[in-house]
A and B are shown apart, each in its own frame.
Chain A
Amino acid sequence: MMERGFSRRDFLKAGCAGIAGAAVFGAAGCGGGPETEGAGVAGLTSRKDIRLVMVTHGSASDPFWSVVQNGLKQASKDLGVEVEYRAPESLDVVDIQKNMEAAIASEPSGIAMTVVDPDALSDLARQATGKGIPIVVLNTGQEVWEEVGAITYVGQTEYDAGVEAGKRMAEAGVESALCINQEQGNVALEDRCNGFSEGLGGNVKELAVQGTDPTAAQNAIKTELNNNSDVDGMLTLGPQGAIPALQALKSTGKGQALKFATFDLAPEVLQAVRDGDLLFAIDQQQFLQGYLPITFLTTYVQYGVSPVNEVATGPRFVTRQDANDVIDLTKQGIR
């Protein structure tokens, strides 16, 4: 019958247990409520619940949109969100409408879209925002993104890029130029040519060639150059036009007299820039047009934040000095 009061040792034990317990509870409490693994700030939802759909007018076989898709995939990997890409095989606004309707019906966390035809697509965009699906407009649609209720716009309109190209060519001394369209019917390319015409000051002749047949395109350009000796500038709208044009210039021997520039990058194009056959190549940095909309939609859905203005991704002019640095990136489909 050893009844003793609390000894000092007991106090010590109790105290240690109490402190340890408090430390454990405290640590658990400090962890905070719903926590995403290692992602830092939790926000309104978790990354793995975010699914984004990109609806554009660029088909899988178009080299420009191939780079956009690479940006999209990289963003999906970096941010840990699920993405889908929907585009028709050829520019058909009705197909784009159907893709948009299907996207809205699948109730994604957000939609990134191009507004190629405002009359056809604005209503669908407003329908999406009305249902609480945030939208980011990319590439085409700079004039309408605010009125359809999109969060922001990422890109460079083709028309403005064309105007810049025209101004640069005019500065280089070009007075009369050819604009080679390798895919007639592609609205984006027509905008580039029209912008170029305005930027240069009007003396631009548009020549349509078959981009899918390099031999026919090359011969057509050769014939045109031979028959129009007063032309001192040429602009192509993509590698499918630029590569046959380079060969046509070589075989007509007009390379020196003619100032030649192009849109969009490809290794062969950059080599020509580096060697001085091309005055400049225009990079719209469309990788960012695939990457940034996903980033902005994710941060909006998760944290409720977004840019208050548009984000311009171009045009960035690649000239002789920087051509070499870019070639490797082009080979990987990033620029």
Chain B
Amino acid sequence: MAQSTTGEETRVREVGVLRRWLTRPELAAVAGAILVFAFFAVVAGDSGFLTGGGTATYLEVAAQLGIVAVPVSMLMIAGEFDLSVGSMVGAAGMIIAIAVSQYGWPLWAAVLLSFLVALGVGFFNGYVVIKTGLPSFIVTLGMLFALRGLTIGFARLLTARTQIGLGDAGSGSLLTSIFAGSIGVFSASIIWWLVLALLGTWVLQRMVFGNWIFGVGGDAIAARNVGVPVNRVKIALFMCTALSAALLAAIQVLDAGSADVLRGELVELQAIAAAVIGGVLLTGGYGSVIGALFGALIFGMVQQGIFFTGVSTDWFQVFVGVMLLVAVLFNNIIRKRASEAR
């Protein structure tokens, strides 16, 4: 290897470890998370935010959003949106509750049925998007309304009510401990969240399917020309988002002991927000699941944090909106400074 007269390689510059890590898409949201945490630690530190119990409250909310945000972020990397996940949460929950309370199904069968219906709905979403060529935004927006309407209509038709309890079917069951149990003060949904995030990261980074997702999101036509089965990838991802919505529904129904027709409202927007905060581009082809994990964490902290500060809850939505904007801006600034040439 040729060496210059000064004895060092001058064409390649050493980049510090910190810089290298900050430019990875996964860690784009870490800066924002640290900022939000620091804000609440300073403003509300003595009101229980820093205790184990306090941490468990926002982690549980973050985990439940995170479970849906993982496949939603993967779908967004592939260049599509799924706006129907929120309605799917409501529908899946209703299926479980009605099957158990009206028709006497065993709990495991009802949960399995809701998962199967979710897979069907996801397949339908993907199929329509591919066959019609319409933007997935529109197709899943239609499903958002249709699913919610079907949930309300069937709930009232079959039970004359909109909020249906599981009765005694849920208590003491093994399924309840798996989905809605807790370890100390920390709920099981946190473990589901971490497992799903690890699984998603593994698929994205280490499996061929992950490469396909990036390819489809970057340029679907070029990917197809290279031999990537674009249709199968998209349909599989839509089925995954719907399935995660059903998983969230099962967790919420088993935790609360009842289902409600309006559950899951706004979850679709929150999941997209968590993904975008985490560095996923709205145009697709770039992003990471770990980023969405931190995005969901930021969301959970911000949503529950207001209750620690003692600020009147009338300002809840202002609070959430402003803090999210601040977190995203901060992420952007840090990433730009880390990645710009010096």
Q: In the complex, what residues of B have CB within 8 A of residue A215's CB? A: 60-61, 64, 189, 252, 255-256
| Bound CA–CA A277/B236 (angstroms) | 46
Chain B residue nearest to A268 in the complex (CB)? B165
Interface of B is mostly: helix
Selected interface stretch from B26-34, B50-58, B129-137, B205-213: B50-58
CB pair B163 A219 closer than 8 Å: no
CB pair B313 A61 closer than 8 Å: no
B340 within 8 A of A: no
Residue of A70, A211, A222 ringed by the most chain B CB atoms within 10 A:
A222
A36 within 8 A of B: no
CB pair A227 B266 closer than 8 Å: no
CB pair A247 B256 closer than 8 Å: yes
CB pair A239 B163 closer than 8 Å: yes
Shortest CB-to-CB span from A186 to chain B, Å, is 12
Find residues 136-175 in chain B having any chain A CB closer than 8 Å to their own CB.
152-153, 156, 159-163, 165, 167
Chain B residue nearest to A219 in the complex (CB)? B57
| Bound CA–CA A227/B51 (angstroms) | 12
Q: Contacts A61-B162, A216-B303, A223-B304; is A243 near B256 (CB within 8 Å)?
A: yes
CB pair B266 A223 closer than 8 Å: no
Find residues 247-271 in chain B having any chain A CB closer than 8 Å to their own CB.
252, 255-258, 260-266
Q: Which range holds the interface residue count of chain B?
A: 35 or more
CB pair A333 B159 closer than 8 Å: yes
B105 within 8 A of A: no
CB pair A222 B165 closer than 8 Å: no
CB pair B58 A219 closer than 8 Å: yes
CB pair B308 A208 closer than 8 Å: no
A212 within 8 A of B: yes
Q: In the complex, what residues of A have CB within 8 A of residue B263's CB? A: 212-214
Shortest CB-to-CB span from A262 to chain B, Å, is 13
Find residues 210-265 in chain A having any chain B CB closer than 8 Å to their own CB.
211-216, 218-220, 222-224, 226-227, 239-240, 243-244, 247
A80 within 8 A of B: no
CB pair B57 A223 closer than 8 Å: yes
Contact of B57 among A207, A222, A331, A332 (CB under 8 A): A222
| Bound CA–CA A3/B310 (angstroms) | 118
Shortest CB-to-CB span from B81 to chain A, Å, is 21
A206 within 8 A of B: yes
B339 within 8 A of A: no
CB pair B156 A60 closer than 8 Å: yes
| Bound CA–CA A247/B171 (angstroms) | 13
Q: Mark B22-59, 1 if CB is under 8 A from A, else 0.
A: 00000000000000000000000001100001100110
A306 within 8 A of B: no
A63 within 8 A of B: yes
Q: In the complex, what residues of B have CB within 8 A of residue A60's CB? A: 152-153, 156, 162
Shortest CB-to-CB span from A261 to chain B, Å, is 19
CB pair A266 B156 closer than 8 Å: no
| Bound CA–CA A218/B251 (angstroms) | 14
A209 within 8 A of B: yes
A267 within 8 A of B: yes
CB pair A223 B165 closer than 8 Å: no
Q: Offer 14 A-B interface pairs, CB within 8 angstroms, sorted by A.
A: A63-B260, A214-B255, A214-B256, A215-B189, A216-B61, A223-B57, A226-B48, A226-B53, A227-B47, A227-B310, A239-B163, A247-B255, A266-B258, A268-B257
Beyond the given A222-B57, A247-B256, could you list 12 further A-B residue pairs with CB under 8 A, ordered by the A residue number?
Answer: A66-B156, A184-B313, A208-B313, A212-B266, A214-B252, A216-B61, A219-B307, A240-B163, A243-B256, A266-B258, A332-B160, A333-B159
Chain A interfacial positions (CB closer than 8 Å to B): 60-63, 66, 69-70, 184, 206-209, 211-216, 218-220, 222-224, 226-227, 239-240, 243-244, 247, 266-268, 331-333
Chain B interfacial positions (CB closer than 8 Å to A): 47-48, 53-54, 57-58, 60-61, 64, 152-153, 156, 159-163, 165, 167, 189, 252, 255-258, 260-266, 303-304, 307-308, 310, 313-314, 316
